[in-house]
Amino acid sequence: MDQKTILNESHRAMGARMVPFGGWDMPVNYGSQIEEHHAVRQDAGMFDVSHMLVIDIKGSDSTHFLRHLIANDVARLKESGKALYSCMLNEQGGVIDDLIVYYLDDTWFRMVVNAGTADKDLGWIIGQSSGFDIEVAPRRDLAMIAVQGPNAVAKTLPLLNDEIRDSAGTLKPFHATWDSSWFIGRTGYTGEDGFEIILPENDATDFWQQLADAGVRPCGLGSRDTLRLEAGMNLYGSDMDEETSPLEAGLKWTIALEPAERDFVGRQALEAKLAEGNLKTFVGLVLEGRGILRDHLPLFDGDKQIGEITSGGFSPTLERSIAYARVDADAPEQFEVEIRGKRLPVRKTKISFVRNSKACVDL
C-alpha cells in the first residue's frame, strides 16, 4: 500500500488524479498540467511535499557531524535560518541524496531529504553518527507545503499568524524563520519566488484550503517536474544517483574542498576523480525542431556516441523541448539526439532555462 500524506483527502476532493510516487499516493495534476505550470510562472501555485522527510540534528557535535556527513560545508552558515544545498555522498563519491540543511544554531540543524530516499538517508545518517554527541530526529509529525510563483508571498503572508508573518515577509532567499510550531523557508524547486512551509500535520488541511481560497492554485507532480526542469534543478535518480558524483551532475559548486583538512565522506574519491580528469560535463540542451527530448536518449557527434539525456521534456514556458545531458568534455556546441531511430539536431545551452518567469537562454 502506498503511503498517504495528511492532504490526501483534500487532493481527491479537489479533483486530483492520483498516482504512485516513491511509495506515496500523490497528485500528478488537477486537470491541466500545463495550466498548473503557467499558474506558478504567472501567479501562484501550491504543492503538497509532505512526503519529503524533515530530520532534525541536535546536540553539541551537530556542526562537527554535518561537516563530516555532507559535501558542502555547514561552517559557512553563520546566520540563524540560513539554508545550504548539498549532496550527501557515499565513500565512492556517488550521491546518496541531495538535500537542504538549515542552520538554526550551533546545536540544531534541520534537514529536508527526498521522499524516495528518506528511509535510506535516515539509515545512513544514523550509521554515520556513531561517536558524535547528536540526536537524529525524523519529524514524521510534520507536513510541508510549497507555495511558489510571483504572487506566492503576497497571497501567503495574510494567512500566517502574527508571530511569524512579519519575519516571513522580510526573509531573504535561502533563509528561514520559525515560531513554536511553524517553519517557513524562502526556498523552492520551481525557479520562482515563494515559501516552503513546514507545519504540524494537524494544521495542514485547513491551511491548504485557506491557500486555495486565497487564489493559490493546487498543482501536482507533473508541473513540479516541468518547472524544475526549466529552472535547472536536478532530480535525484535521473540526473545523479549513487553511481554518479556531483562532479558529473553539474553540482561541483556544492562541494567545499576548502579547508583541506575537512575530511567529509566521499572526499578522497572526488579528489581522485578530479586528479584523473576527463570528466563528463553536464549541459543543457534545446532541440532544434519538432520532437520531445526524453530521459536516456543517446547523443551523437557523427558516428560517436558522446553521452545521453538525463532529464528531458517539453518546456511550456519556452514552447520548446529541453533537456539536461551528461556528455564528453570535448563535445561540440551542436550535435544530434537519436529519437526512434532518427537523428535530430540539438544545441548546448546553460542549465537554467527559465528563472523568475523569464527565459535565460536564446532560442
| Start-to-end CA span in the chain (Å) | 45
Task: Share the mean pLDDT of the chain.
Answer: 97
pLDDT band at 1 (very low <50, low <70, confident <90, very high): low
Mean pLDDT of 238-246: 97
Nearest to 207 by CA among 64, 43, 46: 46
pLDDT at 363 over 90: no
Pairing of strands 176-178, 358-359: unpaired
Radius of gyration of the chain (CA): 21
pLDDT tens track for 262-308 = 999 999 999 999 999 999 999 999 999 899 999 999 999 999 999 99
Q: What is the DSSP letter of 91?
A: T
3-state DSSP of 94-151: CEEEEEEEEEEECCEEEEEECCCCHHHHHHHHHHHCCCCCCEEEECCCEEEEEEECCC
**pLDDT at position 212:** 98
pTM for this prediction: 0.96
275-314 burial, b for 16+ CB within 10 Å, e for fewer? eeeeebbbbbbbbbeebebeeebebebeeeebbbbbbbbb
- Contact call for residues 329 and 281 (beta carbons, < 8 A): yes
Tell me which residue of 57, 208, 225 sits closest to 144, measured CA to CA.
208
Predicted pLDDT at 357: 93
Please give the helix or strand (H or E) that residue 59 lies within, else none. Answer: none
Give residue-wise pLDDT tens across range 86-145.
999 999 999 999 999 999 999 999 999 999 999 999 999 999 999 999 999 999 999 999
pLDDT at 289: 86
Say what the pLDDT of residue 362 is. 85
Residue with the three cell numbers 498517504 = 4
Single-letter residue type at 319: E
